[in-house]
Amino acid sequence: MAWFKKSKAPLPKASDKKVHMPEGLWTKCQNCQEIIYSKEIERNWNVCPKCDYHFRITSQERLDLILDKDSFVEMDVELKPKDFLDFKDSKKYRDRIKAAIKKRAINEAVICGEGTINELPVMVAVLDFGYMGGSMGSVVGEKITRAIEHAIDHRRPVIIFSSSGGARMQESIMSLMQMAKTSAALMRLKEMNLPFISVLLDPTTGGVTASFAMLGDINMAEPRALIGFAGPRVIEQTIRQELPEGFQRAEYLLEHGMVDMIVRRSEMKDRISQVLRMFFKS
């Protein structure tokens, strides 16, 4: 027999205490954990006003941020990936393609085209991390190669914004070959003395880092962006020890001589414009 009877209701669980807020009105910063009014983040280039954390943005938002208003003309919009290997893991590749197209409303993980930056005509490519992790398959490689070739034909500087998990496994060897293809195109761009700015965004790893993204005449990175060849988890498993603080972050790469400068999002457009004008006479 119990000495005391439980007369009180049990304490409410922590989860019940949560204040319910309308979806999307407030955003919790992944870095400083502050709860911030979403509109304020948007007004601040999608950067946390408290800690300067750069939230990931879509390829379209990136273009709006960098190019002069209404100057962008997209190329190769219609190119779609093909499941030529009938690749199937837990899902079929063709279903993953369909889902990605639906989710992101773009046909592939890169948007390429021509535009102007402070009135200077440029070729620009932006990888979209939301589309299958920005992975490079045959179409991404093809679009980037075409963009570089277009730049060679029309004497334009090239800017590529990378955010990607690397080569796309579902296209196996053909994805790997895109690394060679895009890098070879950059060899030709270099021969023509046209500047190439590579902007490395959070995150850029694997086959994209190990091809065009590291080949910029100028490599720029956004603050705190994760940039590396192997992913941190793979490295941890291989060497079986914890990774040092800040490992593979933009600041770490700057320190080790892999990027030329870290540029905050709010200053990106003007910085690119400044750099290009140093090397390029239109």
Partner 1 sequence: MQPYLDFEKPLIELETKIRELKQYSTTDTSFSSEIEKLEKKAEKLHKEIFSKLSRWQRTQLARVPGRPFTLEYVNYIFTDWFEMHGDRLYRDDPAIVCGFARLEGEPCAIIGHQKGRDTKEKVYRNFGMPHPEGYRKALRIMKMAEEFELPIFTFVDTPGAFPGIGAEERGQAEAIARNLREMAGLKVPVITTVTGEGGSGGALAIAVANRVLMMEYSIYSVISPEGCAAILWGDGGMAPQAAEALKLTAQDIDALGDVIDDVIPEPSGGAHNDPEAAAKNVKEYLLKNLNELKYLSPDELVEHRYQKFRAMTRIQE
When asked if residue 33 is in the footprint of partner 1 (CB under 8 A), the reply is no
Q: Are strands 158-164 and 120-127 parallel, antiparallel or unpaired?
A: parallel
When asked if residue 12 is in the footprint of partner 1 (CB under 8 A), the reply is no
How many residues touch partner 1 (CB under 8 A)? 60
Angle (CA) 76 79 81, round 5°: 150
When asked if residue 195 is in the footprint of partner 1 (CB under 8 A), the reply is no
Distance CA 215, CA 196 (A): 8
Tell the smallest beta-carbon distance from residue 126 to partner 1 (Å).
19
Q: Which residue is associated with the tokens 């895109």?
A: 178
Element containing residue 126 per DSSP (H, E): strand 120-127
Q: Are strands 196-204 and 218-221 parallel, antiparallel or unpaired?
A: parallel
Tell the smallest beta-carbon distance from residue 207 to partner 1 (Å).
6
Q: Which stretch binds partner 1 (CB under 8 A): 4-12, 20-28, 87-95, 266-274?
A: 87-95
- For partner 1, which is the closer residue by CB, 114 or 171? 171
CB 120 within 8 A of CB 277: yes
The only residue of 178, 217, 218, 272 in contact with partner 1, by rule CB under 8 A: 178
- Nearest CA-CA partner of 111 in 155, 170, 159: 159
The only residue of 74, 247, 264, 282 in contact with partner 1, by rule CB under 8 A: 247
What would the two tokens of residue 60 be? 């379209």
End-to-end CA distance of the chain: 92
When asked if residue 229 is in the footprint of partner 1 (CB under 8 A), the reply is yes
When asked if residue 10 is in the footprint of partner 1 (CB under 8 A), the reply is no
- For partner 1, which is the closer residue by CB, 7 or 238? 238
The only residue of 29, 59, 111, 171 in contact with partner 1, by rule CB under 8 A: 171
Angle (CA) 173 190 212, round 5°: 35
When asked if residue 234 is in the footprint of partner 1 (CB under 8 A), the reply is yes
When asked if residue 153 is in the footprint of partner 1 (CB under 8 A), the reply is no
DSSP string, 4-21: S---SPPPPPHHHHPPP-
Tell the smallest beta-carbon distance from residue 32 to partner 1 (Å).
26
When asked if residue 58 is in the footprint of partner 1 (CB under 8 A), the reply is no
When asked if residue 152 is in the footprint of partner 1 (CB under 8 A), the reply is no
Q: Are strands 35-37 and 26-28 parallel, antiparallel or unpaired?
A: antiparallel
Task: Quote the distance between the C-alpha of residue 140 and its chain's center.
Answer: 13
Q: Are strands 73-75 and 110-117 parallel, antiparallel or unpaired?
A: antiparallel
DSSP code for 92: B
Neighbouring C-beta atoms of residue 207, cutoff 10 Å: 22
When asked if residue 87 is in the footprint of partner 1 (CB under 8 A), the reply is yes
Task: Quote the distance between the C-alpha of residue 243 and its chain's center.
Answer: 23
Per-residue binding letters, 101-140, with partner 1 (x by CB under 8 A): -------------------------------------xx-
Q: Which stretch binds partner 1 (CB under 8 A): 1-9, 17-25, 30-38, 82-90?
A: 82-90
Catalog residues that contact partner 1 under the rule CB under 8 A: 79-82, 84-85, 87-90, 138-139, 141-142, 145, 167-169, 171-181, 183-188, 190-191, 206-207, 209-215, 228-230, 234-235, 238-239, 243-244, 247-248, 256-258
